[in-house]
Amino acid sequence: MRPATWLLLSALSVLVACQPAPQGDPTTPATGSSPPVGTGTSTPDGLASDTPPTAAASDPLPTARPPGGSGEPTATEAPAAACSQSDANRAFFAQAARAMSWPVYCAVLPDGWFVQSGSFHLANGGGLEVTYRGPADARLAIVEGNVCQGGDVEACAPRDAVIGPAAFGDLQGELGRLSTGLTLDVDRGAQPSWRATGLGLTEDAFRALSAAFLLVEG
């Protein structure tokens, strides 16, 4: 081989070795990357949970377990088995019922309703709050326990007018009207008390949902 030809081949080898490694398609996610998070997780009963209810991080909570077994409770084993939503949400209500000294109620809702947010705490007599989102962006909120926390009743449990008696599960409450919706109070201003608020619901629909509230056996 001539010296000139050898030098040319050596130079080409150096250029090829210095080229960067080929890159993948920039529109394709890298292997192992996290998929986009959806707006809800489907559950066996056809409902979904945007944000599963949680207890306050500082609260010591009992662990819901099936009788004589271990692991997470199932829909038929949890004390709150008839409550709407996933097994995790039913376990949440069962834990709250065991932790509180007053009766805890959950909603039993038709298809199309979702948990938007929920939590409970043990301080100051305890309290529970859960908000559901339904068809046509309707809202149903439940607040139980120390609803007013010693504050002004008109501020913490407002209403513009009183309509009349209505059922809150097996309790008797007083239905009221707000400028934005409806409200139902049981023992308004007392501790404990129970309050439901409905937005985007007719009076008949709100009465039906409130009457179906279920006493949770802790």
Q: DSSP letters along 166-217, please?
A: EEETTEEEEEEE-SSEEEEEESTTSSSEEEEEEES--HHHHHHHHHT-EE--
Q: Is residue 107 part of a domain?
A: yes
Tokens 């301080």 correspond to 123
Tally of structural domains, the chain: 1
Q: Which of 32-46, 65-79, 178-192 has the highest mean pLDDT?
A: 178-192
Q: Is residue 36 part of a domain?
A: no
Q: Is residue 5 part of a domain?
A: no
Pair type for strands 105-106 and 181-186: unpaired
What pLDDT score does 52 carry? 52
Q: 146 or 81, which is more confident?
A: 146
Alpha helices in the chain (DSSP H): 3-17, 87-99, 153-156, 203-211
Q: 142 or 152, which is more confident?
A: 142
pLDDT by residue (tens digit) across 4-37? 443 333 443 433 333 443 333 322 222 222 222 2
Query: CA-CA distance, 195 to 211, in Å (whole number)?
Result: 13
Extract the tokens encoding 211: 């009457």
Phi and psi angles of residue 124, each rounded to the nearest 5 degrees, phi first: 55, 45
Q: Is residue 198 part of a domain?
A: yes
Q: Is residue 1 part of a domain?
A: no
Q: Tell me the mean pLDDT in the region 202-216.
A: 97
Query: CA-CA distance, 98 to 104, in Å (whole number)?
Result: 9
CB 218 within 8 A of CB 94: yes
Percent of the chain at pLDDT exceeding 90: 52
Q: Is residue 19 part of a domain?
A: no
Sign of the CA dihedral 68, 60, 56, 209? positive
Q: Tell me the mean pLDDT in the region 163-177.
A: 97
- What is the pTM (predicted TM-score) of this model? 0.66
Per-residue pLDDT at 135 exceeds 50: yes
Extract the tokens encoding 151: 């504050």
Q: Range of 70's domain?
A: 41-215
Q: Is residue 33 part of a domain?
A: no
Q: Apex CA 138: angle with CA 56 and CA 168, to 5°?
A: 65
- pLDDT tier, 136 (very low <50, low <70, confident <90, very high otherwise): very high
Per-residue pLDDT at 65 exceeds 50: no
Q: Is residue 84 part of a domain?
A: yes
Query: CA-CA distance, 195 to 178, in Å (whole number)?
Result: 13
Q: Provide, for the chain, the percentages of residues in helix, strand and coil under a 3-state DSSP scheme, each rounded to the nearest 5.
A: 20, 30, 50
Sign of the CA dihedral 141, 143, 149, 154? positive
Q: Tell me the mean pLDDT in the region 31-53.
A: 32
End-to-end distance of the chain based on CA atoms, in angstroms?
92
What pLDDT score does 88 carry? 85
Region of poorest pLDDT, from 8-17, 102-111, 189-198, 202-211: 8-17
